């Protein structure tokens, strides 16, 4: 019996993606070769990379708008370094919104490159809300934000209006909701939260923001080099790219990001309604900033933990424990999570209430 996987990542994927990826490991594209052993320069995989790049832009409604999609390696953490290398001018300035652990890590990597200004932070409140009143200096080379905070369960609902290029880490909510993605000059997302297996990172960058820093950028860290080589400057993570493509095809076949967003809103509404209704539980994140992807909550009485843990584990639920920074519970309800699994969790919460 397959479990209800609420783990924050590596995330669950649609069943049909698992099945197609598994088949490709045995026999990819009727080549009688595995996806794991074909040349990344073969026409079969070049077609995969081209379709993945094009489909990423299509799902974000950025086709023919001056953007390039790249599939790179190193995770989002590598982009923390690539971004200042490529966007912060010599003696320049970068601005960051500090909304969680990963935003903090991005800030740390930018500091050696120049003036790094934190325009606002919710750190003193253990990141349980998204700061909203802040000013972005007009002389900044870019503004960096994190759209969804996996650990703390907060999500940006609005993004600032500014002439400064906006860079956004969308690792844990990519393709989960409709936005005007043309507001962003660079978007990046580690695949393993909501798009595919660990091993590749999607970077969508507007070409006209590049090559303006006067820095000497190592080729491996240079976005322009990766664009010129079509994400194949070095051997790409073939399986991770292929599985990400399968997931993007699944999203398109579901009706695109708009249709997926509707399902995500229904799942989140179901779970948050129970958290707010049930006197045994309370949410962690500010209600206005609650994430559609990562729902954080705690028991009002820690003495009920043993009984609740037994309930959800006996109902084949996995990965529900909260991050050590927050405690309690975290239900990650990414795109592939069926609403039926969310209902199982809600039923466990109701059953605990009836037993107490």
Sequential DSSP letters for 51-91: HHHHHHHHHTT-TTTTEEEEEESSHHHHHHHHHHHHHSPTT
* Residues in contact with 178: Cβ distance below 8 Å, sequence separation at least 6, in sequence order: 257, 258, 261
Report yes or no: 81 and 75 within 8 Å, Cβ to Cβ.
no
Retrieve residue 329's tokens. 């519970």
Sequential DSSP letters for 108-129: HHHGGGSEEEEEEE-GGGTT-S
How far is the C-alpha of 95 from the C-alpha of 74, rounded, in Å?
A: 23
Closest CA to 246 of 18, 9, 71, 12: 18
The helix, strand and coil proportions of the chain, stated in percent and rounded to the nearest 5, come to: 40, 15, 40
Question: What is residue 190's three-state secondary structure?
Answer: strand
How far is the C-alpha of 241 from the C-alpha of 51, rounded, in Å?
A: 10
How far is the C-alpha of 26 from the C-alpha of 305, rounded, in Å?
A: 44
- Catalytic residues, by residue number, are 102, 169, 193
């Amino acid at each position: 019996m397959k479990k209800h996987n609420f783990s924050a990542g590596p995330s669950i994927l649609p069943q049909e993606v698992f099945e197609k990826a598994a088949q490709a490991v045995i026999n990819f594209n009727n080549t009688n070769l595995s996806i794991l052993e074909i040349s990344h320069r073969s026409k079969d995989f070049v077609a995969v990379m081209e379709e993945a790049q094009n489909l990423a832009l299509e799902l974000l409604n950025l086709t023919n708008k001056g953007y390039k999609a790249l599939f790179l390696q190193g995770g989002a953490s590598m982009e923390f370094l690539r971004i200042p290398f490529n966007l912060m001018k010599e003696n320049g300035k970068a601005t960051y919104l500090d909304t969680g652990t990963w935003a903090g890590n991005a800030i740390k990597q930018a500091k050696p490159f120049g003036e790094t200004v934190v325009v606002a932070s919710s750190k003193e409140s253990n990141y349980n809300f998204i700061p909203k009143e802040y000013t972005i200096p007009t002389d900044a080379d870019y503004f960096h934000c994190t759209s969804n905070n996996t650990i703390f369960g907060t999500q940006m609902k609005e993004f600032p209006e500014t002439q400064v290029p906006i860079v956004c880490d969308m690792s844990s909510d990519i393709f989960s909701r409709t936005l005007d993605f043309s507001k962003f000059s660079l978007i990046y997302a580690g695949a393993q939260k909501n798009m595919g297996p660990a091993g590749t990172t999607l970077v969508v960058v507007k070409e006209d923001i590049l090559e303006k820093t006067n820095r000497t950028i190592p080729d491996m860290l240079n976005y322009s080099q990766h664009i010129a080589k079509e994400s194949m400057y070095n051997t790409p993570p073939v399986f991770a790219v292929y599985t990400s493509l399968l997931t993007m095809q699944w999203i398109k076949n579901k009706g695109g990001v708009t249709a997926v967003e509707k399902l995500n809103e229904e799942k989140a509404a179901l779970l948050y309604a129970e958290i707010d209704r049930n006197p045994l539980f309370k949410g962690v994140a500010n209600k206005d900033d609650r994430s559609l992807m990562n729902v954080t909550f705690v028991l009002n009485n820690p003495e009920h933990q043993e009984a609740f843990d037994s309930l959800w584990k006996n109902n084949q639920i996995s990965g529900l424990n909260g991050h050590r920074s927050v405690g309690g519970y975290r239900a990650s309800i990414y795109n592939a999570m069926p609403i039926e699994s969310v209902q199982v969790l809600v039923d466990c919460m109701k059953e605990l209430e009836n037993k107490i």
